[in-house]
Amino acid sequence: MVDEVKEVLTEYGQAFEEFKKANDEKLDRLEKGLEVDANLNSKIEVIEEKMNSLEDINQDITQTKAQQEKVNEKLDNLETMLKRPQFGFDNKEIDEKTAAFDAYCRKGSQGLEDFEKKALTVSNDTTGGYLAPPEYVRELLKTVTEISPIRSIARVRSTGQRSVQVPKRTGTFAAQWVAETGTRSETTGYTVGLEEIPAHEYYALVDISEQDLEDTVFDLEAEMQSEFATQFAKAEGTAFVSGDAIGKPEGILTNSSVSSVNSGNGTALTSDGIITLVHSIKSEYSRNGTFIFNRTTLADIRKLKDTAGQYIFQPGMMLTGGATNTILGYPYVEATDMPDVAGSAKPIVFGDFQRAYMIVDRVQMAVLRDEYTQATTGNVRYIARRRVGGQVVQAEAIVKQNISA
């Protein structure tokens, strides 16, 4: 697998070298007032398509690296917990809950045996249904994390409550100079507040044919997990970028406390604007900085050069240690919900998202089996409901690029 990744990134680097030569030739002709040959434009387009096709691999590696740090931390916590006396998992109980949940999804509550009903937990919501087993929810969240790009770089917490309160520093002490025998007066300024992050409800629908449900070979659990995860990831991905915090998470673009830096051009990105963006936040945040933008914006960034004539985009295998692709030495994550480059748009956000943005998952997920709504079409409808919150908790850790002169 490692060799395959290296091969792909090497191919990406070679494609970018071809792109630079072709793009430099185009820029040279434009500067001299010469017509750009149609074949040259076509060549550049073909190379860009090739790089775009390889970009998915780069994104997988970038997000995997970010997730690995979180996984290592969780593994350390789990190892500590496992070392506690008399701790262990009741595998039999887990298997019973999973089997009972599968039976409910296939046959409905009327078809459950008494021991299966006892293994399930009824949702405390008025809409009814049963809570999915914790193992089922964990597997679903794994898939959501793989699809949802901001999850891979933000801070994520789990809770059983409707909201989470996070301590927020609103002021700091200032160090003071004092003589050897001088009076050390109390300094002021350190204050701490609480930021509340509510977990908002959202739902996903899946229709499964009755014939598939009757087929014991049909992997109902995998089908439902995949479809629910895709729908949840798309919904929360949009909210984490542009949510208005009314019945949904707050987006990184809608928080008014996050500052903006102009691009230096009213309709386009500039290399100077992106450089200014990176240097506009404190080094404690920029050292863990990551860019977020969509793929259309990436195509624009690939064409940008600094004042020394060097491209600010660098493919991973050109860097020491075979790192992922970077912009000015920093990794980037693609988010399809980020806006395209246009006047007054904010197509790029840069900074330390672990410090800036928190996602809150309510661990429980209820699934309702509706065998009536789609009965005439031969389908059974499943409705999955869960809660998730998202909010900017440290606005100074990120900054937006505003397309403006």
Looking at 319-323, 363-367, 377-381, which range is the least confident one? Answer: 319-323
Contact indicator for 350, 278 with CB cutoff of 8 Å: yes
The answer to whether residues 263 and 270 touch, using CB atoms and an 8 Å cutoff, is yes
Three-state SS at 348? strand
CA distance 211 to 190: 64
pLDDT surpasses 90 at 326? yes
DSSP 161-205: SSEEEEEEEEE--------TT---PPP---EEEEEEEE-EEEEEE
| Cα 317 to Cα 331: distance, rounded to the nearest angstrom | 13
CA 40 to chain centre: 37
Phi, psi (5° rounding) for residue 173?
Answer: -70, 155
pTM, entire model = 0.78
3-class SS of residue 156? strand
**Would you state the pLDDT for residue 351?**
97
Confidence band, pLDDT 50/70/90 cuts, at residue 73: low
CA distance 173 to 183: 17
Candidate ranges 99-113, 186-200, 264-278, 376-390; pick with highest mean pLDDT: 264-278
- Tens digit of each residue's pLDDT (9 = 90 or more) over 7-61: 777 788 888 888 999 999 998 888 888 888 888 888 988 888 888 877 877 777 7
Report how far residue 56's alpha carbon sits from residue 281's, in angstroms, rounded to the nearest whole number. 29
Q: Where are the domains of the chain?
A: 134-172+186-294+335-405
Mean pLDDT score of the chain: 83
Share of the chain residues as helix, strand and coil, in percent rounded to the nearest 5: 45, 20, 35
Name the more confident of 147 and 307: 307
pLDDT digits (tens, 9 = 90+) for 126-136: 555 788 887 78
**Structure tokens that stand for 358 in this block:** 């928190």
The CATH superfamily holding the domain 134-172+186-294+335-405 is: Major capsid protein gp5 (3.30.2400.10)
Q: Which residue has the higher pLDDT, 29 or 192?
A: 29
